[in-house]
Structure 1
Amino acid sequence: MDTILVVNAGSSSVKFQIFSVEGEGDLRRQIKGQIDGIGSRPRLRASGVRGVPLAHRAYPIESVSDVSAAMGVASGWLRDELRISPMAVGHRVVHGGPDFVGPVLIDHGIVAQLERFVALAPLHQPHNLALVRSLLANFPTLPQVACFDTAFHRTRDAVSDHYAIPHQLYAEGVRRYGFHGLSYEYVAKTLPHVAPEIAKGRVIVAHLGSGASMCALKGGRSIESTMGFTALDGLPMGTRPGQIDPGVVLYLISEKGMSPAKVQDFLYRDSGLKGLSGVSNDMRELEASEDPKVKLAIDYFVYRVGLHAGMLAAALQGLDAFVFTAGIGENSIRIRARIVDQLRWLGATLNPIGNSRHMRLISGSDSCIPVYVIPTDEELMIAQHTLSLLLERPSPGVRHERAS
């Protein structure tokens, strides 16, 4: 059975999925797993088709000290116990910079180019690339494909792409990239099947999770988003502040004596819902708390989603639908209800029963715009891109090493 391995590496976890290649290039998810607790309490958890448990085991700290070691454990388990040797690996890479407008086959030169953007996505890029380098070293002929969270937004108009700074900086790559592109791409491709009447219209998609952003789609194409040069801008997130006056950064450096490295750590790890609530970056924990600071953090999150919805509706010159996706958007009944209430001025109303049942369409019958919940599937998008690139390659007489 030909399979594709999809991986998404973070600082303390490696998530992976196995897709089988069937028929005329159809993909079927076979395994979903992750190794988390890297460097502290490592454990492998995996499930198969329909959620059947396949593994749940712990490892000594010293045996899984970094993402490369975690990938070694996962690939060893796949190979030795399940007899799976993937034909290719697809990676989520957060930042592709100005040069990469679509998925690309990885080699050492590509890795060197992508390392330039580590400082622009410090929570993700170093770990994405560490895994790529490990596989290049151990399986040099195994095809690897980088799929970028920035690529979906690279077709936007220049007016959406620029900051009001000298053009030389834009030429160097200082521009508004946008992120969560794999998620938005999946939603854009799913909408014609869910709601063909609005798929080519003006749609706001809210990707609400620990990382959060929103995107304005017109005809299935990104025309504006809330994130910019880095994944700090826009909506408040689990540990990131979202939109903030650059003067705050200058104040932290000049008045508080913080180094650039300390400021970076502060903005990426100690702000957002965590910083505002003083309790947690997890919306589930926050919703269960009665702490007044927690209430403010949730109020702020909902308010900012509504505020940015107005900005994106202006960019679209109207609105035909609103879509929730990602962890909070797919699962939090209360947050969805509060956000729809923020959209009343756009004519949105809620069907409380549909919302409580997590139905796909949760707007009321009198709503001027439909409101949908569409679970995202970034891993499927990565698998599809990986397979597409493999099929496009000239292949006569070429054999690829498998991860065995």
Structure 2
Amino acid sequence: MSGKILVINCGSSSIKFGLYGSIDHTLTVIKTGEIVAIGAIPRLQVFDANGVSIIDKRLINGSNHAQAMSALLDWGLSVGTHTQTARDIVAIGHRVVHGGGLYDAPVRITEQVLEHLDTLDALAPLHESHNVAAIRILAELMPNVPQVACFDTSFHSTLPKVARQFALPQPLYEQGVKRYGFHGLSYEYMAECLPNLIGKDAASANVIVAHLGNGASMCAMQGGRSVATTMGFTALDGLPMATRCGDLDPGVILYLLEVLHMSNEDITELLYKQSGLLGLSGISGDMQTLLESDAEQAREAIDFYVYRINRELGALTAILGGLDALVFTAGIGEHCAAIRSRVCKLAGWAGIRVDAYHNERHSLCISAGDSPVTVWAIPTKEEWMIARHTQRLLS
């Protein structure tokens, strides 16, 4: 496919984007960026292929996503009018968090697809509606450019039924109440790049990837395929996150409803936006802020975070029947040496040993030479995966 591919990851108050082109059949990044604080005082930041800032400006018009997207096309891509932009961009790929039970691979977007995605909003209330809104906005701004949805749930379509089920009546499973898993684009990228980084044999063996960012989950892979993951029916499950609760006794929800008389809206707000590291510490959902704090609550929040990672690591290792490689990725996983060190120290039971020098310098391989389990810190490239899926599907 000749021409450029635009990748969009739309959130509630931000739009992340990337522009990709093909050189000698190799997909390469041209520029990346984001618009933040949509609805307040929007700011556009654009970086070249080497990560050097080329645009950093406040936007006069950006009070909503439609205006922000228009500014992205005019300023962020630096190609002038929408018409000129449409000629230069041949396809648009979107990150869509939830594909439900229907989509186990990227799909070209039609009105029928959009109607189905509208029904999944309750399964990913922080993400799905904004993902779909971006698609509709660009369909108006660039009506002749094909768009592709790439789902965070698709990579986990290989989960066996025993890993998908909840202990609920079977008719509910058939109606779609099951474990879907998320962060699939990140895990898929790891499955793609691991053979080149750690050797084909290791990448096809027992690997656990820890995607630790504002959202957090872990995935057990055999032969590059997902066999177990910590997130479930929604993106609330599993590890504690910046503001999301993670694993929770469902009886707590009943208690909040029946005894504390909280509304559905209040519970949603609590579980998605007031819990996790923020709720535990009462200070912040940002890991770096907590690490720099002297408050006991900050320490306790970090202790709980590391404890839960270690607990899930043990469960996933048991499912795999052993562990050959542990990979850290996403914001905390890639950049926070202190958390990697603490997780690996607790995981000494698995034979994991970290080289402190390489860990502090954020090397790709951070395990000690005599560690039977190799440990890695690898930047994820979800946008690149979306661009490649879009290129392949439309070619």
TM-score, scaled to structure 1:
0.94
Question: Match for 2:271 among 267, 270, 278?
Answer: 267
What's the CA shift for 1:81?
A: 8.3
Contact 1:340 1:348 in 2 (8 A): yes
Which string of whole-angstrom CA distances, capped at 9 and with x for unpartnered residues, describes residues 110-152 of structure 1?
0000111101101111110001011123333210000000000
**Whole-Å separation in 2 of the counterparts to 1:143 and 1:129:** 15
| Aligned residue among 134, 158, 161 for 1:131 | 134
Is 1:282–2:286 an aligned residue pair?
yes
**What secondary structure sits across from 1:140 in the alignment?**
coil
Distance in structure 2 (CA, Å) of the matches to 1:222 and 1:49: 31
Aligned ranges for residues 2-401 of structure 1 at < 5 Å? 2-24=3-25, 26-60=26-60, 63-77=61-75, 78=77, 79-80=79-80, 84=85, 85-196=88-199, 197-391=201-395
Range with greater deviation from structure 2 (119-128 or 364-373): 364-373
Q: Does the CA-based 8 Å contact 1:105-1:146 persist in structure 2? A: yes
1:109 shift after superposition: 0.7
Q: CA deviation at 1:386?
A: 0.2
Partner SS state of residue 80, structure 1? coil
- CA shift digits 1:350-377 (9 cap, x unpaired): 1000101111111112212111111100
Structure 1 distance, partners of 2:189, 2:169, is 35
Q: Distance in 2 between matches of 1:57 and 1:70?
A: 13
Moved over 6 A (4+): none
The one-letter amino acid paired with 1:69 is Q
**Structure 2: stretches of 5+ with no match in the other structure:** none
Give the C-alpha shift of residue 22 in structure 1.
2.3
Q: After the TM superposition, which of the residue ranges 213-222 and 35-44 deviates more from structure 2? A: 35-44
The residue identity in structure 1 corresponding to 2:217 is S
Note the C-alpha offset of 1:68. Answer: 2.3
- What's the % identity of the aligned pairs? 48
Q: Deviations over 1:270-327 (max 9, x none)?
A: 0000000000011011111010001000000000000000010011011111000000
CA contact (8 A) 1:4 1:21 kept: no
For 2:94 and 2:351, locate their aligned partners in 1 and report how far apart those are by CA, in whole Å: 40
Are the counterparts in 2 of residues 12 and 39 from structure 1 also a CA contact under 8 Å? yes
Aligned equivalents of 2:241, 2:49: Cα separation in 1: 32
Describe the SS at the equivalent of 2:46: strand
2:7–2:92 CA contact under 8 A, matched in 1 = yes
How many Å separate the matches in 2 of 1:141 and 1:105? 13
Deviates more, 1:352-361 or 1:80-89: 80-89
Return the alpha-carbon distance in structure 2 between the equivalents of residues 211 and 164 of structure 1: 25
Query: 1:397 aligns to what?
Result: none
1:249-268 residue CA offsets vs partner (Å, 9 max, x unmatched): 11111111111111111100
SS for the counterpart of 1:154 is helix
CA distance in 1, matches of 2:29, 2:343: 32
Shift of 1:52: 2.7
Whether the 8 Å contact between 2:70 and 2:141 is mirrored in structure 1 is no
Q: Normalised by the size of structure 2, how large is the TM-score? A: 0.96
Structure 1 gap segments, 5+ residues each: 392-404
In structure 2, the partner of 1:394 is none
* Secondary structure in 2 matching 1:123: coil
- 2:20 partner amino acid: F
Contact 1:3 1:86 in 2 (8 A): yes
Say what the alpha-carbon RMSD is for the aligned residues: 1.2
How far off is 1:44 after superposition?
0.5
Tell me which moved more, 312-321 or 221-230. 312-321
Give the Cα–Cα distance (whole angstroms) in 1 for the partners of residues 53 and 165 of structure 2: 48
Rounded to whole Å, the distance in 2 between the matches of 1:386 and 1:258 is 43
